[in-house]
Amino acid sequence: MSLPSGAVFDSGVPGQVDLHNDRVVAELTDLAQRLLDEARRQGAPEAEVSVTDRTGLSVGVRQRDVESVELNQDRSIALSVIVDCRRGMVSTTDTRSSSIAEAVAKAVNFARHTQQDPCNGLADPDRLAKHIPDLDLYHPEALDAERQKADALEAEATALDFDSRIVNSHGSSAWSQSGCEVYANTHGFLGSTRGTQYGTSVVVVAQDERGMQTDGWYTTSRLSGELESPQMVGSRAARRSLRRLGGRRVRTGSYPVVFDAQTAKSLLGSLVAALSGGLLYRKASFLADSIDTMVAAEGFSLWQRPHLQRAGGSCAFDAEGVATKDLCFIERGVVRSYVLDSYTSRKLKLPTTGNAGGVFNLELEVGTTPLSDLLGSIESGFLVTEMMGQGINLVTGDYSRGAAGLWIENGEPAFPVDEVTVAGNLQRMLRGLSGYGDDTDVRGNIRTGSILVEGMTVAAG
């Protein structure tokens, strides 16, 4: 499949680049207000609504030819009403007036048939954001299919031509997305956010006499000019695939384990889940009742930084309109805060932390040790570069996941390893943290470098 030279998708207005301009924000605001007015008219004293408009273009290629071109344009509504401490929720993509009335009626009806819960309700008015700073998240460009095709083809071609052992491709893609969301509630709060996201990715297959291995790389940013070049994406994908060739098994035992920056994100994600109110009030987390308790090594500090300029997880208010702020979850090994929305905070009799919808730019305090120095401290151990499966019990903290990576001998990578399991217990793993790399990966909502954990079990698959 090929595209005509210079093919461009835009908003339909000549020269229009700002797909989510003031006119669109005004439309979404008017739609949100109509929903709240209708909810009051139908007997819901409390209601909240999120109206989202998204436009995106993705071009996928495989084996040096275009495989797909996908343009998406959608508008959606999520409405929640509270009637006598009972909550009802609906979502729809139909924005006609008759459909709005029908959606509200369904939500009110659902609320009247659900269980009463005194913890239901909107966020407390004094917690709502009063000031919404500009976080520089919106950098729109005309949707240019030809340019994205060229980027995806270049990334894949660079990877395929990198080495004769790169024998196949699982595909490459380049994408651009633009979105606008308006959130409003019957406490009088109304806030809007706009954002863009661009990216390029590729996954390729390497082969030698022992078999095939697959790996890839991607780049993403709010600003297209900050992306890594397609050539860099392709060469990184090729190198990552090649370094996995010739994988061996290892003798089962207890070894130091380094999670590289990408896999360390999943480790921190598990920790955030254990700190989340939904598990805590059910007593389904090993970190229940842990405020002001030391649970990790003294050098470990974990923060939320929601107001970083142009970052992937930045937001001025959470999904309930509550103002976000810098927040320390773990300070030098001690739990200082949970991750709470209004409902779970009421369950725990604590104030909300402004984390409805999750965390915003979770950040491990930047390490100062180069990855080479972390590895240099290891006589015999394992560098994890890929995780597989879900083997985490957050009630007990038991941790067991499939992994692949590089075996370390005398501080240096010795050979690739695959089909192994790394196992331990999150409580002991947190206390066994002994090193933090300076190789911070800032892609996405979790920002961390490599993490060294002492004494995990590495077992042959």
**What are the tens digits of pLDDT across the range 108-153?**
999 999 999 999 999 999 999 999 999 999 999 998 999 999 999 9
Per-residue pLDDT at 227 exceeds 50: yes
Residue indicated by tokens 């999520």 = 78
How would residue 98 be classed by pLDDT, with cut points 50, 70 and 90?
confident
C-alpha torsion sign, points 221, 223, 226, 227: positive
189-201: average pLDDT: 97
What tokens were used for 247?
């994988």
- Range with the poorest average pLDDT among 3-12, 91-100, 387-396: 3-12
For position 8, what pLDDT does the model report?
39
Alpha carbon of residue 182 to chain centroid = 21
Taking the CA atoms of 293, 294, 299 and 303 in sequence, report the sign of the dihedral they define: negative
pLDDT at 339 exceeding the cut of 50: yes
What pLDDT does 461 receive?
65
Alpha-carbon gap, residue 392 to 57, rounded angstroms: 36
User: Under CATH, domain 22-242 is a member of which superfamily?
Assistant: PmbA/TldD superfamily (3.30.2290.10)
Q: Lowest-pLDDT range, 93-97, 223-227, 375-379?
A: 93-97
Of 42, 283, 394, 359, the C-alpha closest to 186 is 42
At 387-402, the pLDDT tens digits run: 998 889 999 999 999 9
Cα separation, 321 vs 305, in Å, equals 17
Give residue 21's pLDDT.
87
Domain spans of the chain, in order of start: 22-242, 247-461
% of the chain exceeding 90 in pLDDT: 90
**pLDDT number for residue 365:** 87
Q: Give the end-to-end CA distance of the chain in Å, rounded to a whole number.
A: 42
**Is 10's pLDDT higher than 60?**
no
Reported as a pLDDT band with limits 50, 70 and 90, residue 13 is very low
pLDDT in tens, 284-322: 999 999 999 999 999 999 999 999 999 999 999 999 999
Whether the predicted pLDDT of 237 surpasses 80: yes
Mean pLDDT score of the chain, rounded to an integer?
A: 94
pLDDT confidence of residue 249: 84
Q: CA of 433: how far to CAs of 137, 294, 332, 424, in Å?
A: 34, 13, 11, 13
Residue 9 has pLDDT above 90, yes or no: no
Residue 46 has pLDDT above 90, yes or no: yes
The DSSP bridge pattern shows strands 362-364 and 446-447 to be: parallel
Residue 3 pLDDT > 50: no
Q: H helices then E strands: how many in the chain?
A: 9, 18
Closest CA to 29 of 244, 180, 227: 180
Are 373 and 365 in contact by the 8 Å Cβ rule? The answer is no
390 CB neighbour count, 10 Å cutoff = 10
* Residue 16 confidence (pLDDT): 52
The torsion defined by the Cα of 276, 279, 283 and 286, in degrees rounded to 10, comes to: -60
